[in-house]
Amino acid sequence: MATTQEVWEHHAGGFIGRDVAMVLEDYTEASVLIENGEVYKGLEAIGAWFSNLFVALPKDCAFDLTNCTILDDHIYITWTAESETLAIEFATDTFAVKDGKITLQTIGVIKRSK
């Protein structure tokens, strides 16, 4: 079973590569992602969310991971990003990891369309 650090490294690798299938390997059908109050449950919904994000923030966008803290079964990150169509002025994610999978991810985002 993957450690929290290993889950983070795999998830970050999938994110950097904009690889939805790789990112989804870190979740289960019972996983939940909540962004600014919108709830996405299960692999199909979470996959669709990441697909949309990767269109808005392609590989060549400006991305800065400003903080990453891992404590036991939790990961906390802050980041910013900017593409031709979207500017994320501040974002924070919290991940809960259990048995080598992300069970819950919450995301708070301050963004503006360009």
User: pLDDT tens digits for 40-71?
Assistant: 999 999 999 999 999 999 999 999 999 999 99
Per-residue tokens: 52: 């949309």
CATH topology of domain 4-113: Nuclear Transport Factor 2; Chain: A, (3.10.450)
Q: pLDDT truncated to tens, each residue of the chain (114 aa)?
A: 999 999 999 999 999 999 999 999 999 999 999 999 999 999 999 999 999 999 999 999 999 999 999 999 999 999 999 999 999 999 999 999 999 999 999 999 998 877
Alpha carbons 44 and 31: distance in angstroms, whole number: 11
Alpha carbons 114 and 13: distance in angstroms, whole number: 27
Instruction: Name the average pLDDT for the chain.
Output: 97
Cα dihedral sign, 58-24-68-94: positive
Tell me the residue ranges of DSSP E strands in 42-73. 62-71
pTM for the model stands at: 0.94
Domain locations along the chain: 4-113
Nearest to 110 by CA among 73, 84, 78, 62: 78
